[in-house]
Structure 1
C-alpha cells in the first residue's frame, strides 16, 4: 500500500484501487469482490471480478443490495438511504492503519433479518475501530431477501446464494488483504443478528475451513436453516405473490413488493418474523447448525466471543400498543405457544430475575431469551465441553427510550464508535456522550483483544476468563462500565430447548 498525500493506493489481484487517508487510517470503499457468472440471471452464483484498467476509485460509499425500509428503522434510523442500490452490489470496504504489517483482520457481516442492510452503509464505517484496535476492518455486502434466497423449482439449495457471496468475499480477503497490511492467516469473522448467523455458519461449515481463525457473534438468532420443503414453500409463495411470472422477468420493485407480502404472512402476536433465509445443503449449510454440541465438535474456529443485548426483542415491540399494553393472560398464552410444557416455569423464573416486571417486560424477556439468550448459554456450554474457548457477554447499556430499554442493534454504534453515522438513530438519541464513549471504549477493548490473540480484555488490559460451568461468569456492559458477574444459567436445557415449538 502506497501513500500519496491524503490518498492511498493498493495493488490488488484485479488491479489498483485508490482510497483516502485520515487520522492514520486508510479507507477503501466499494471494492468489487465478485460478479455474477451470468449477468442476465438472478439465480447466478458469482466469480472473481474482471480485472480493471488504471486505478479504481474507492473513495466514495458503495451501493447496497435492493431493499425496502427496514422494520428496525424506528431504532436504527435511515442512514442507509444515502447509499445507492444495485442488484450487483458485490462490494466490500477496507479500513487499514497506515504502516501496518501482518495485522489481524476483522471481517464484519451486517444484519437485517436476511432482508435489509449493507456493509457499505454509514453505520459500519470502520475508521475508528481500525485505529483504536490496530487491526484491519472489512465490511461486506451480500444478496438479500428473494434476490438471495428464491430457489428454482427442484433446487432448494438455490436459497444459499448469500452464503456463496460471503465465501467469495472471504476468498478475496485471503487473496488481497496482505496488500493492506493484513494477515490472511489471522482472520476473525464477526456479525450481528443475521450477520452473526452467517458468522456462526462460516465457523462450522466445511466450505469455509481455513478462511477464518475465530468468530464474534453479536445477537446470534436461533433460526434453523430451512429444510427443503420450507425452501420450496417459501419460493413458491414468493412467486405467487409476484404474479407467477419468471423470476428474471420481474422488476426490482415487483420483487421487493412480493417480499413484503410474504413477510406479512408470517407476522403474529409477539413474533419476530423470519421468512427468507438459507436452506440445508450438504457440505455448505449443515442441518445441525443449532445442535450446538455437534457444531462445537465440528467447528474449525478456535475461540468465540458471543453475547446479546439485555432486551433484544424490545426493538421489534416498543412501538406496538397491543404488545406494550398486553395483559398477563395474553402474555401467558404466548408463553404457552412458545414454551409448551416449560411455559409456567420459564415465565416464573424470568419474572424472578426482573424485579418490577410487567406483562410487557415478560413478553420482551421471553422472546429475547428464546431467540437470542438461550443460544449464548448453550453455545458456551457446548464449546466448553468440546475443549474450545468461549467468552459470553451481555450488553446492558440502556437507550433511556420508553419501553425500548437495551434493544437489538444498540451495541453497533458503540462498537464502531461513529456516532455521526447514527445521527438519526432514536435508540442512541438519549445516550449521553460520556456513556457512549466509555461503553464504546470498553466494547472495542474487548473486541480488540479477542481479534488480536483470541482473548477479550478490559480497557485496562486485563484478560477475560473463558467460560467454565464451575465458575459461571458473564461480562456485562452497562452505562457505568463493564464487570464480570455471576451468570444465571440453566433456565432450560439444550434438549428441552430443541423440543420447543
Structure 2
C-alpha cells in the first residue's frame, strides 16, 4: 500500500439505486512529521480497492461495541492522514458533504466501512470522509498552534477546497457535517474566522458538547504519562494510548453522567464561548444549519450496565432533584419543578432522558433557537426511531446506519438486530434524503 504521486485514480465503482458511483480511497491530504507535532500538507493515493484497507489513526476498542458492533478492522497508522471520496460518475460542480466521524475523541476513522458514503453520493452530491488524530496521540501534548486534531481538520478542509473540483465537486458549496465528537469539530470550525466564506452549511448530528480541557488538566495527564519511565516519543502507539488512559484522573461514579476520556485543550484555536448558544449563533459564519440528535442519546452508555438497569426512583430522585432546572429536559419538569415519577417514565428512562439532555441535547436545541431568533436558516430534525435492543431506545449512534444506508456494513450491530430490512430501508431513504436535500440547498421546499 505504498503511496503514489497524486493523480486520483478510481479505487472502486458500484451501481447504487440506479446510479454509478465512483470511490477514491486512501487519498492523502497531509503527512506526519513527528509524534505530537503538526502535520504538513502532502499528496498521493494508496493502491487499494477496499475501503477497509485504508489505515485509520491508532485507537483502542470502542466502549460502544456492545451496541454498534465492531465493523471490519482497518489497519492503524500514526500517519493516517487520508480522505476518501465518493461521487456519481460524470459528476460536475456538485455540492460537497465533508463528514467528520465521531468516537468520543478516542476512536473512529474516515475509512471505517460504517461511514461508506456511496449511497449518499448516489443522490447527487460528492461525499468526503476525513480522519484526524485521536486519544493520547492527539491530546496528551499541545503545540503553539493549539489542538492537533483541529489542525488536522484544517488541513483536510483546505485540501477539499483545493482539489474537490477534480472529483466533480463544487468547492463553493461545502457542507461540513460531523457526528458526536465530529459534530463538536464541525461546529468549532464553523466559528473560526479562517473558514469564513469557505463553509457554506453545517450539519451537527448528536453533537458532543464537552468543554475543552484546561491547560492544567492536559499538563497533569502529560506529567502522569511521563512518570511511568516509558519514552512517550518512542514507544508503540498502542503502549502510548494505554499509558494515556492510565494517566487520566479517576472520577467517582455519578448516576446519569457518561464521562469522556481525552478532550482537546483550550487554546488559540478554540474560542472560549463557542459552546454558548447566543455567542455561537452570532459568530458561526455558515449560511444554514442542520441540527439533529437522537431521542435517548445516553442510553448507549447505560443500557448494558446493571447499576442502571436496576436503578430505583429513590436513587434517581437523590440525583436529579439537585440538578439545575436548565439541566433537566421538558419531560422531567412540571410547573417549574423536577417531576420525577410524575413524568410517567420509569426510573431508568428518567435518568436516560436527563443525561441525554444535559450531555447532548441542550446546546443543540438552544443553538437552533438562537439561530432562528436571528432569522437564520435552521433545519431541526430529532431522530426518534427506537431500536429493538432492550433499554437502548433511540440511543447515541443509532441513526448512523440509516444515515449512510449501508445495512451490510452494520451486520454485527446489536442495536439493529430484530429490525426488518424493509423498515431499515424506508427509514434510511428518509434520512438520506433529509441530509442530501440540505446539502443541495433544497431544504426550503
2:8 and 2:27 in contact (8 A); partners too: no
Q: Residues 209, 266 of structure 1: CA spacing in aligned structure 2 closer, same or farther, 3 A cutoff? A: farther
Cα drift, residue 114 of structure 1: 0.1
Alignment partner, residue 219 of structure 1:
206
Equivalent of 1:321, from 269, 290, 306? 306
The worse-fitting range, judged by mean Cα deviation, of 58-67 and 23-32 is 58-67
Cα drift, residue 326 of structure 1: 0.9
The worse-fitting range, judged by mean Cα deviation, of 432-441 and 247-256 is 247-256
Cα drift, residue 299 of structure 1: 1.1
Q: Residues 342, 224 of structure 1: CA spacing in aligned structure 2 closer, same or farther, 3 A cutoff? A: closer
Alignment partner, residue 15 of structure 1:
7
Alignment partner, residue 41 of structure 2:
48
Alignment partner, residue 119 of structure 2:
128
Residue 360 in structure 1 maps to residue 352 in structure 2: no
Alignment partner, residue 186 of structure 1:
173
Q: Distance in 1 between matches of 2:28 and 2:350?
A: 45
Alignment partner, residue 279 of structure 2:
294
Equivalent of 2:288, from 296, 300, 303? 303
Give 3-state SS (helix, strand or coil) of 1:112's partner. Answer: coil
Give 3-state SS (helix, strand or coil) of 1:265's partner. Answer: coil
Task: Output aligned runs, 1:42-441, within 5 Å.
Answer: 42-49=35-42, 56-61=46-51, 62-80=54-72, 82-131=73-122, 133-151=123-141, 160-240=147-227, 243-262=228-247, 265-266=250-251, 268-269=253-254, 270-282=256-268, 284-336=269-321, 338-339=323-324, 347-349=332-334, 356-441=344-429
What is the CA deviation profile of residues 105-154 of structure 1, one whole-angstrom value per residue up to 9, with x for unaligned ones?
A: 001111000000111011011111110x21001111110011111115xx
Give 3-state SS (helix, strand or coil) of 1:407's partner. Answer: coil
2:71 and 2:112 in contact (8 A); partners too: yes
Give 3-state SS (helix, strand or coil) of 2:86's partner. Answer: strand
The worse-fitting range, judged by mean Cα deviation, of 139-148 and 254-263 is 254-263
Alignment partner, residue 467 of structure 1:
none
Cα drift, residue 18 of structure 1: 3.7
Q: Residues 286, 359 of structure 1: CA spacing in aligned structure 2 closer, same or farther, 3 A cutoff? A: same
Give 3-state SS (helix, strand or coil) of 1:258's partner. Answer: helix
Alignment partner, residue 24 of structure 2:
28
Q: Distance in 2 between matches of 1:323 and 1:100?
A: 50
Q: Distance in 2 between matches of 1:99 and 1:309?
A: 36
The worse-fitting range, judged by mean Cα deviation, of 344-353 and 377-386 is 344-353
- The two structures, once aligned, show a CA RMSD in angstroms of 2.4
* Structure 2 unaligned blocks of 5 or more: none
Give 3-state SS (helix, strand or coil) of 2:320's partner. Answer: helix
2:138 and 2:149 in contact (8 A); partners too: yes
TM-score (norm 1): 0.81
What is the CA deviation profile of residues 172-208 of structure 1, one whole-angstrom value per residue up to 9, with x for unaligned ones?
A: 1011110111000101010110011011111111233
What is the CA deviation profile of residues 365-397 of structure 1, one whole-angstrom value per residue up to 9, with x for unaligned ones?
A: 000001112122210121123331112111011
TM-score (norm 2): 0.91
1:151 and 1:231 in contact (8 A); partners too: yes
1:110 and 1:191 in contact (8 A); partners too: yes
Task: Output aligned runs, 1:483-498, within 5 Å.
Answer: none
Cα drift, residue 263 of structure 1: 5.5
Q: Distance in 1 between matches of 2:46 and 2:423?
A: 40
Q: Residues 266, 120 of structure 1: CA spacing in aligned structure 2 closer, same or farther, 3 A cutoff? A: farther
Q: Distance in 2 between matches of 1:134 and 1:201?
A: 27
Q: Distance in 2 between matches of 1:344 and 1:113?
A: 23
The worse-fitting range, judged by mean Cα deviation, of 301-310 and 334-343 is 334-343
Q: Distance in 2 between matches of 1:151 and 1:68?
A: 19
Q: Distance in 2 between matches of 1:31 and 1:266?
A: 41
The worse-fitting range, judged by mean Cα deviation, of 436-445 and 341-350 is 341-350
Give 3-state SS (helix, strand or coil) of 2:83's partner. Answer: strand
What is the CA deviation profile of residues 209-244 of structure 1, one whole-angstrom value per residue up to 9, with x for unaligned ones?
A: 33311110110122122232233233334444xx15
Q: Residues 397, 261 of structure 1: CA spacing in aligned structure 2 closer, same or farther, 3 A cutoff? A: same
2:291 and 2:364 in contact (8 A); partners too: yes
Give 3-state SS (helix, strand or coil) of 1:117's partner. Answer: coil
